[in-house]
Chains A and B, each alone.
Chain A
Amino acid sequence: MIEFRDVEKVYSNGVKALSNASFTIQNGEFVFFVGESGAGKSTIIKLLLKEIEPTSGDIIVGGQSLSDMKRSEIPYYRRGLGVVFQDFRLLSDRNIYDNVAFAMEIVEAPRKEIRRKVPMLLGMVGLSSKAKCYPNELSGGEQQRVALARALVNNPSILIADEPSGNLDPATAEEIMEIIEMANRRGTTVIMATHAKDIVDSMEKRVITLKNGVIVRDEEKGGYFNEA
């Protein structure tokens, strides 16, 4: 379970990116965060990753308050989160296979497990034939799928994606959504920030709408509303 209690974030330059944000996400839920650029979506994701600290309020994940978490506990907390970044964040000096294997190597997964799971995940995102390619030899959509494979390879209990369909053509975006939905059906909590109206409207999931750092709407089976 993820809980935000009156979370406020003011950046060091004085920008108030989030105010009085309170919401609860149950295990296995699928939640969209929508809003225009600058609304505060990425801020929520960064807070959840403990990349930044809230100015006030509490964030509780799996019963633990993030602000009480010790520095040495952070890596283990993050291992439970699979993250797809907007800019993919792949390692350019490693091929696709190694990029995905890397996520398992750092948690010291058994070698046999790595050899079994990496091809499985690459197959799932439809990139088996490109395992030996380097990131710069792939299209944006393909890189996005590699990032997704890497995020899912350690069986995270929470999958977090920041605009995963950002600059993708509709067909590719749909493929990615299918994979994410598949993970969700297997019990993974999914949190996705996006401003892609089509996707949000077609999925019929919970939608939390942000505007200038304020939660203006929180609806089950919601849609993307353009506030006039």
Chain B
Amino acid sequence: MKLRTWKSFFKQGFKNAFGNKTMSVASIVAIAAALCVLGVVMLIVLNLNYLMDDLEAKSEVTVFLDKDVSYSDIKAIESKMEKWDGVREVEFVSKSSALAKWREELDDKAYLLDGYDGDKNPLPHSFIIGIEKPEYTEDIASKAKLLPQVMKVNYSKEVAESIGKVVHSVRLVGAAVVIILAIIAAIIIHNTVRLTVYSRRREINIMKYIGATDWYIRWPFIIEGFTIGITGSLIAIAIITPLYQYVLNKLAGQHLAEGFFVNIFRLLPLGDVIYNILFVFILVGVSVGVIGSGMSIRKHLKV
């Protein structure tokens, strides 16, 4: 179709989209609301995934050895563990370096450990096993327990596992809520465009009888739905983006106050999520708008 025809389609579509104020506002609010919920779900899932990746990178099992373990036993244990599935690296921590680490952690109270050097060192030798994926943790820990000369095995499986479960249910519930909201938004848009179609049914009928093609009649209504959809998307982006920035700032303030938080609750920066959000919002907004309006016009074209 000609450029001029497209211009008239867009003019008509925009005019319709903003012509009936009440219905248009209702549709735009419905889309924006659905997308805001989608945005919150997306941000939670993205951040939990990020946190899980982070924890995966940090997954480790600590294996404490018997006091009287010999140098050759240590070597044997190390080479055995290195061959296990899911083991990323095996780091030996001698009892003296363990003591030094402890001293570091105690900082200005390090004097408490004075006199425990050398033979008086109460700490055992240990291995820190770096794990590829949290799924392997339990398996590796139980295998380590069965090794001779092993005194104790420490690992934290619960955190990673429960985050995995949370991500799963957030995704599920989120998807359900978003689908329901999207359907409601599509129905509202459908009704809005149907009102326009209804008020222009005479015109549509006349167009049909003087030889307008279906697409010639359809386009302005699709553009109306598209306009409503994209307006809703932009409003949702304008709400979600500053909201996330606000949460980031708030947490950053807390991080400064309570330094240790930093490692656990670090959120993805806005720059890392903004493109995902933009893409999904516009895609969902536009398709809901176009599908909603496409359904409204169908009936009236059958003449």
Contact = CB atoms under 8 A, between A and B. Distances in A.
Partners in one complex: yes
A150 B1 contact: no
Interface string A77-90: 11101010100010
A103 B212 CA distance: 9
Interface in B274-303: 303
A107 B1 contact: no
Nearest to B212: A106
Contacts of A78: 208-211
B211 A107 contact: yes
Contacts of B206: 89, 91
A83 B210 contact: yes
Nearest to A94: B203
Contacts of B213: 72, 75
B203 A91 contact: yes
B209 to A, nearest CB: 6
A83 B212 contact: no
Contacts of A81: 211
Given A91-B203, A108-B1, A49 B209 contact: yes
Contact of A75 (B1, B8, B205, B212): B212
A223 B182 CA distance: 65
A46 B289 CA distance: 36
B207 A111 contact: no
Contact of A106 (B4, B205, B216, B303): B216
Nearest to B303: A51
A85 B112 CA distance: 105
B211 A76 contact: yes
Contacts of A106: 207, 210-212, 216
A105 interface: yes
Query: Could you say which of A77, A85, A103, A150 has the most chain B C-beta atoms within 10 Å of its C-beta?
Result: A103
Interface in B126-176: none
A188 to B, nearest CB: 16
Contacts of B210: 78-79, 83, 102-103, 106, 150
A189 B216 CA distance: 28
A111 B4 CA distance: 9
Contacts of B205: 89
Nearest to A71: B214
Interface residues of A, number: 23
A105 to B, nearest CB: 7
Contacts of A83: 209-210
A89 B178 CA distance: 45
A85 B2 CA distance: 29
Contacts of A105: 5, 8
B142 to A, nearest CB: 69
Interface string A47-86: 0010100000000000000000001100111110101010
Contacts of A108: 1-2, 4-5
Contacts of B209: 49, 51, 78, 83, 85, 89
Query: Could you say which of A75, A103, A154 has the most chain B C-beta atoms within 10 Å of its C-beta?
Result: A75
A51 to B, nearest CB: 7
Interface of B: 1-2, 4-5, 8, 202-203, 205-214, 216, 303
Given A91-B203, A111-B4, 13 more contacts: A51-B209, A77-B211, A78-B208, A78-B211, A83-B209, A89-B202, A89-B209, A91-B206, A102-B210, A106-B210, A106-B211, A107-B211, A150-B210
23 contacts: A71-B214, A72-B213, A75-B211, A75-B212, A75-B213, A75-B214, A75-B216, A78-B209, A78-B210, A79-B211, A83-B210, A89-B205, A89-B206, A89-B209, A91-B202, A91-B203, A91-B206, A106-B210, A106-B211, A108-B4, A108-B5, A111-B4, A154-B211
